[in-house]
Amino acid sequence: MKKIFVITFLTLLSLTGFTQTVTNNFENAGGWKYYSNVCWGIGMNNEYEYFNTNVVGGGFTGSKVCQTQNLGEKNICRLESPWTNLAAGNIEFDHAVPSKDGNRKLTVYLVKEDDSKLKILEFTYTDSKSKHASIANNFTGIRKIRWEWTGNDGNSRGQLDNIVIPGTNASDPSHDCEPMAAIIDADGDGVPDTQDEYPNDKYRAYNNFYPATGFGTVAFEDNWPAYGDYDLNDLVMGYKFKIVSNAQHNVVEIFNTMLLRANGAGMENGFGYQLPAVNPGSIRAVTGAGNQSGYTISDNGTETGNPTKATIIVFDKSHQYMNEWNTEKGVPPVPDVQFDIYLEFMKNGVAGAAGTITVSNLNIAQWNPFLVANGQRGREIHLPNYLPTDLADQSLFGTGDDDTQTGKYYKSKTNLPWALDIYGAFDYPAEHMDISQTYLHFGAWVESSGANFKDWYSNTGAGYRDDAKIY
Amino acid sequence: MTSLKSIKLIGFVLLFITFSLSSCQKDVPPAPDTTAGTTTELKVAADFDWKTSREITLNVIGLKEVNPAINNTFYVNSSAGVTYYKDLLTMNQDYTIKFAVPSTETTLVFNYGSKTKTVEITSSSLTYDYITE
């Protein structure tokens, strides 16, 4: 029964002459600009010599046609098809000079890549009625169809509609509508070698960075829920994420570099971060973190107790890694302490138990860093309006100067934060130097709700900071 | 003799005035440009997000007529050539992409093969449809 169906189907196909075609009825609402971008040689003011065709209303069928400019102003107007891999069959189209005035002729050519051309139709208009053309074609290979209207008197225009060309599109609209070139892709992942950052690795394709260049900075006050001195140097971390993805847009791995830059605090503070869009089960392994005593860590390296959002503990006690505060003027600084944390999402194309996540859905800018104050796991301090982890001690909310409640997190009653995330490098204040008095446009940035002095943390010009207060 | 003495005296007086005026000025530290003296005195709007970055949602509208499918790398760059985002896009498919830029950024450059389009960041939601002039 199946064999009979297949035979019948194939017979019907051959009887109908089914073949692929390149068509245009000019009905797209985008007009000439749309068709130009999908490689029809059409449009106002483009580079084609004497070229001036447009898409207008009043079509033979549907509502739109391709129409030339007034030939009285130009000696010649033309339209071209995309490069087409021609097949045998009929080239069909409707044409007219609907308000014929003066001498008008339409010539149709097959054009090769070297711009040589072969005339396949010449038609002299004697009236304004629409015509249908059907040109038998036996040529194969890469060609364009070119329609040229010529005339040197009167004021009439040429029109064209309902084009059908036997063959398949061979233009590449992403490369100036040139004929499609063979793609070299050594690992066969679909990303051309010239664009693939891992051309011989089918499991990897791209690196995306956050921040885009250099390091970002998160800076904390650790006295939450009470105010501190707002020197924002109780913990200062530099951070950088390198996100490796594959050709299917999925995250393969993240290389996260963390720099412990300062711990201007008497307390032994820990640091971690949550990836709110990542199920812990999507991570196969985490390596490179520091000591995590006092924390419960799963087999895959994420912290337990946060079942829906992957949580990474970077270290437990800052002073174990940095014995100087790196905030006191006159005390020589010690080098940053670097943590190279590796998060494996996929291995040889196999994802973690909870499946894949795309780079866009990861949305790394939403990473949720937090300080853990003085070894008290529940006393975590986040950026303003960032959610607590499942292990936060919510009994601390609303105490002291804190005003955390539903819809408002880690802000005071006057909407002040206990942490800041700076997109870029940040020269933090020295010990006990209030950030508002160190960065002189910080207050204006805050009180304008971010409208003014978006670059307050830079040293863009004179008057941006009091250098004497910077560590 | 007397006039020479007078000239010298005037000269010394002038020098004295000059030095006294320049040395009287104390080194005044630069001041913040708000009336608030400390951070705790700042007046902060309840909806201020304290962010120095901005998240952008970009809706990519595919050119449905492109056939066969074209695959290329799509870049979101700054005008200085810093890449904020890149990924492989198929030209006839739609995508929703999220990425972040610094709040100071005002312009993005979208690159797809030979197509380049520069847009102003007028909102946190932008659209790109491959159509260029």
Residue B37, domain member (yes or no): no
pLDDT band at A15 (very low <50, low <70, confident <90, very high): very low
Query: Both A416 and A360 in a single domain?
Result: yes
Residue B8, domain member (yes or no): no
Q: How far B102 CA lies from chain A's nearest CA (Å)?
A: 6
Show the domain range for A408.
Answer: 206-433
Spell A46-74 as b/e; 16+ CB within 10 A means b.
eebeebbbbbbeebbeeebbbbbbebeeb
Regarding predicted confidence, which is higher, A459 or B100? B100
Give me the pLDDT at residue B13, please.
Answer: 64
Residues of A in contact with B115 (CB under 8 A): 174
Q: Any idea what DSSP says for residue A442? A: H
What is the DSSP code string of A326-378? Answer: S-STTSPP-PPEEEEEEEE-EETTEE-TT---BHHHH-GGG-EEEEEGGG-TT
Is the pLDDT confidence value at A16 over 90? Answer: no
User: What average pLDDT does this structure show over A386-415?
Assistant: 98
Q: What is the pLDDT of residues A168-196, one digit of tens each?
A: 999 999 999 999 999 999 999 999 999 99
User: What average pLDDT does this structure show over A162-167?
Assistant: 96
Residue A193, domain member (yes or no): no
Average pLDDT for chain A: 91
Residue B43, domain member (yes or no): no
Is the pLDDT confidence value at A354 over 50? Answer: yes
Residue B74, domain member (yes or no): yes
User: What average pLDDT does this structure show over A118-142?
Assistant: 94
Question: Helices then strands (H, E): number in chain A?
Answer: 5, 26
Is the pLDDT confidence value at A345 over 70? Answer: yes
How many domains is chain B built from? 1
Q: What is the CATH number of the domain that holds B77?
A: 2.60.40
Show the domain range for B95.
Answer: 53-128
Residue A191, domain member (yes or no): no
Give me the pLDDT at residue B8, please.
Answer: 67
For the record, the structure tokens of A50 come out as 């004497």
Q: What are phi and psi for residue B43, nearest 5 degrees?
A: -95, 115
Q: What is the CATH number of the domain that holds A150?
A: 2.60.120.200
Q: Is the CB of A415 less than 8 angstroms away from the CB of B71?
A: no
Is the pLDDT confidence value at B62 over 80? Answer: yes
Query: Which of B33, B50, B78 comes nearest A440 by C-beta?
Result: B33
Q: What are phi and psi for residue B119, nearest 5 degrees?
A: -130, 150
Residue B120, domain member (yes or no): yes
Q: Is residue A47 within 8 angstroms of chain B, CB to CB? A: no
User: What average pLDDT does this structure show over B62-89?
Assistant: 95
Residue A330, domain member (yes or no): yes
pLDDT band at B27 (very low <50, low <70, confident <90, very high): low
Which among A433, A451, A466 is the end of a domain? Answer: A433
Residues of A in contact with B51 (CB under 8 A): 421, 450
Query: Both A93 and A224 in a single domain?
Result: no
For the record, the structure tokens of A287 come out as 């390596």
How many domains is chain A built from? 2
Q: How many CB atoms lie within 10 A of CB A222?
A: 23
Residue A377, domain member (yes or no): yes
User: What average pLDDT does this structure show over A315-337?
Assistant: 95
Q: Is residue A142 within 8 angstroms of chain B, CB to CB? A: no
Residue A298, domain member (yes or no): yes
Residue A452, domain member (yes or no): no
Q: What is the pLDDT of residues A252-275, one digit of tens each?
A: 999 999 999 999 998 999 999 999
Residue A42, domain member (yes or no): yes
Is the pLDDT confidence value at A248 over 60? Answer: yes
